[in-house]
Amino acid sequence: DGGITQSPKYLFRKEGQNVTLSCEQNLNHDAMYWYRQDPGQGLRLIYYSQIVNDFQKGDIAEGYSVSREKKESFPLTVTSAQKNPTAFYLCASRSRGLSTDTQYFGPGTRLTVL
Amino acid sequence: QKEVEQNSGPLSVPEGAIASLNCTYSDRGSQSFFWYRQYSGKSPELIMSIYSNGDKEDGRFTAQLNKASQYVSLLIRDSQPSDSATYLCAVYTGTASKLTFGTGTRLQVTL
């Protein structure tokens, strides 16, 4: 099965804890992205990586960190510095061809701070 | 001004009617435009992409792009209750490394 997987599906965190969200893809895509979605809101870009061992901050990177050690994997850590982490987190990868350029999403992780 | 703007809705249409969803964007240099469908609690699913002015049809869906007026629209013909979802407009902006999303339009197809 080709696609993007995210785990866990649901995650509960106590205040002050760091948590790591997993994102894996077997589509051989170079670029990967992390977004956050709050209720009734569009998606906001947290971090993105266009190639292994390189990543850039998006619009709301404060309180988050990422790594890109392998092409297939782009984990996101939500640190205790993130003031309001409860949200739906979406990972995406980018497919670029001669006439197409699109992003596809994983199923998402819903994070709740207790 | 927001980079990508959509009416939040809800847009209510009867079953079998045409649903028309609109989106405007601010970056004149944008080249790639997308419509995603998102069911409640699920991740966005790509339904249409359009890269040049004019219409692009795929089944019951038609995307329309007008770069001069900076808007992109999505028409859904013969609307079905299963089309009830939030539709997100997305545009590659800036250096085209960043996909910017609108806040989405909620569509309700009534029986």
Q: What is the pLDDT of residues B9-23, one digit of tens each?
A: 899 999 999 999 999
On the question of pLDDT at A1 being above 60, the answer is no
- Top pLDDT among A81 and B35 is at B35
On the question of pLDDT at B94 being above 70, the answer is no
Q: What is the mean pLDDT of residues A77-102?
A: 91
On the question of pLDDT at B86 being above 90, the answer is yes
Could you give the CA distance from residue B103 to residue B94 in angstroms, rounded to a whole number?
19
**How close does chain A come to B61, measured CA to CA in Å?**
17
Q: What is the mean pLDDT of residues B73-86?
A: 97
A/B interface, count of CB pairs below 8 Å: 51
Residue A27: name the closest of A96, A97, A93 by CA: A93
Distance between alpha carbon B61 and the CA centroid of its chain, in Å?
10
A86 confidence band (pLDDT: 50, 70, 90): very high
Contact A42 B34 (CB under 8 A): no
Could you give the CA distance from residue A87 to residue A37 in angstroms, rounded to a whole number?
6
Distances (CA, A) of A27 to A5, A7, A70, A92: 11, 17, 13, 11
On the question of pLDDT at A42 being above 90, the answer is no
A99 touches chain B (CB under 8 A): yes
**How close does chain A come to B108, measured CA to CA in Å?**
15
Contact B103 A41 (CB under 8 A): yes
Which chain B residue's Cα is nearest to A87? B41
On the question of pLDDT at A7 being above 60, the answer is yes
Could you give the CA distance from residue B97 to residue B91 in angstroms, rounded to a whole number?
10
- Top pLDDT among A40 and B64 is at B64
Indicate the average pLDDT of chain A.
Answer: 93
